[in-house]
Chain A
Amino acid sequence: MARPELRKMLENGEMVLAPAVWDAVTARLMRHMGFKVLYTPGSGTGVIIGEGEPLLTITDKAIVAERVSEGVDDELPVIVDIECGYGNPVHIQSAIRTLEDAGVTAIHIEDQLYPQRVSYFRGVEHVIPIDEYQQRIEYAVKARRSKDFLIIARNDVYHSVEGGGDRQQAVQRAEAALEAGADAIFITGMKGPEDMEFFRRAVPDVPQAMVAGTKGPTGMSVEAYKSMGYQILLYIFTLHASLGAIYDTYKSVKETGYLPSSSTDTQQNFMSLASTLLDFEEKWAVEAATTESGR
């Protein structure tokens, strides 16, 4: 079931900070830290299946979304990147139903060519014509059961081969998506604050999403995004941080035979974190009352 909180946050003008996750424990860690919304990006999920985003299926997406949502007892809204929607309008409708059944609350769907090209990951991006894109959104909106299930219309035309840096085309696609019933807009390929200001003014009165972070030409603090009017912030770097840390840990093992030195505090912090994330105290209490009576 789609959770109503995300729609309410958007209506109340609250900032939506959505960190990328991919399994139960990463989802649970974010909940523990105080995040209220979760995100499963295509890029990260693509690495999780080991083939890259363009090779993902809607099944992969649903499996990851479901385990993330179950990981937090379905308590937090999950936003899922469904790229092009996995086909033509009939496939898109099936994709929406699959994800809504999986407990997802919002999806973003874009105008890239389907099947998606791997060249996208080196900046060569192709988009479909605007009328086909509008149909994608229209049929996605028609397929949802709950009004709380939100359709975020992404368009990549601005930095695509076909769009060639034309801002107006991105605005037109955003307007076409809104006409078809999209709940929010997500324009990619912005080169800096000037683009952000332009698109915010050109596409008013609807929540807009951004890939967020402090680094890069459009990187800024949450306050700065807020003042520029970007309400949905998608933080995609989680897997990068995770794999980077694992890399450093085991590079040391490979080179020296030893794990990197780690303070006793770090060890204790980890055990305490794991214990919290896995509800050890609760389980121990049940055991103390039953199989471990008194211990």
Chain B
Amino acid sequence: MANPKLRQTLQRGEMAVAPGTYDVPTARLMQYLGFENLYVGGFQTGTVLGTTEPLTTVTQMADIGKTVARACREDLPVILDAGAGFGDPVHVMHTVRVLEASGVTAIHIEDQTYPKRVSYHKGLEHVVPIDVYQQRLEYALKARKSEDFLIIGRNDGFRAAPDAVLPGGGGREEAVKRAHAAIEVGVDAIMIIGVSEREDFQYFRSQIKDIPMVALAGFGSLGVPDFKDVGHQVVIYPASTVQSSLMAIQAMYEPLLQSGEIFTPPTEAPGDLGHILSGMADKWEVEEATTGG
């Protein structure tokens, strides 16, 4: 079930900060730290699955969406990356139904070509014509059951590569046009990809009015206070979680292979974090009352 809290947060004009998650412990950890929304990104999911995002199926996304949503008993709204919607309007409608049933609360659908290209990961991305994009969103909106299930119109028109669809490549105006096409069919929020400069965030905010906007954060990017300043209400973290994890694992195991020594890296996390995230204290209580300590 879509969680009404995200729509309410947006209506109140509050910031919705959604850290990236992909399994039970990452979801529970964010809840433990006090975050009120979660994000399941395509890059991160594709990385964890070892497949890359363009080869990830909607079945896999729904599976991870469900795992993350249920990890927190569906108390926290989950925003999930639905990529290019996984096909034509008939497939996009199926995507929406499958993802809404998975228990996530919002999805973003973009204008990249489907099947998605891996070249996207080296900055070479292609978008479909604006009318095809608009139809994706129109039918996505028709397929949702609950008004609390939010559809975010993402577009990659800002940095798309020159091709037959956009001979001159992407740019500010193309991104704004696509955002307006998305708003026309009734999306709940707008997300423009490839924005990193404050000035660009300000420009897009000035051209796209009266609708929440989504910003992507990562190491070295603007922070939550900056995004608030430039009127971007939803902040998602598409890569920082898996990046933190893999870099820490690599750093810990490198010395073992080199010198045979291994040291767990320093962290501010409680030593019994695994127990906390598994609800161990409650279970000990039940055992004490039943099978004994």
- List residues of A whose CB falls within 8 A of some B CB: 17, 19, 22-30, 33-35, 43-44, 46-52, 54-55, 67, 70-71, 117-119, 121-122, 124, 212-215, 221-224, 235, 237-251, 253-254, 256-262, 264, 266-267, 269-270, 273-275, 277-280, 283-284, 287, 291-292, 295
Contacts and interface: CB of A to CB of B under 8 A. Distances in A.
Contacts of A295: 119, 124, 161
B46 A47 contact: no
Interface in B233-251: 237, 239-250
Contact of B280 (A19, A67, A118, A244): A118
B273 A254 contact: no
Contacts of A262: 219-220
Interface stretch (B47-55, B181-189, B193-201): B47-55
Interface in B130-157: none
A280 to B, nearest CB: 6
Contacts of A279: 52
B248 A292 contact: no
B221 to A, nearest CB: 8
Contacts of B49: 23-25, 67
A50 B277 contact: yes
Given A243-B274, A253-B19, A258-B223, A214 B263 contact: yes
B249 A292 contact: no
A247 B261 contact: no
Contacts of A213: 262, 264
B118 interface: yes
A33 B254 contact: yes
A30 B35 contact: no
A240 B30 contact: no
Nearest to B122: A284
A279 B259 CA distance: 29
Contact of B284 (A30, A48, A118): A118
Given A245-B265, A248-B269, A270-B243, A29 B52 contact: no
A122 B281 CA distance: 10
A258 B117 contact: no
A283 to B, nearest CB: 4
Contacts of B33: 247, 250-251, 254
A52 B8 CA distance: 34
A278 B19 CA distance: 22
Shortest 5 CB-CB contacts between residues of A and residues of B: A244-B267, A24-B50, A257-B224, A245-B248, A222-B260
B241 A246 contact: yes
Contact of A287 (B46, B118, B221, B292): B118
B223 A251 contact: no
Contact of B274 (A19, A239, A250): A239
B208 interface: no
A274 B117 CA distance: 17
Interface in B210-229: 217-221, 223-225
A221 B260 contact: yes
Nearest to B32: A247
B269 A50 contact: no
8 contacts: A25-B47, A25-B242, A29-B250, A55-B283, A118-B284, A248-B244, A256-B223, A278-B50
B278 interface: yes
Contacts of A246: 26, 29, 241, 244-245
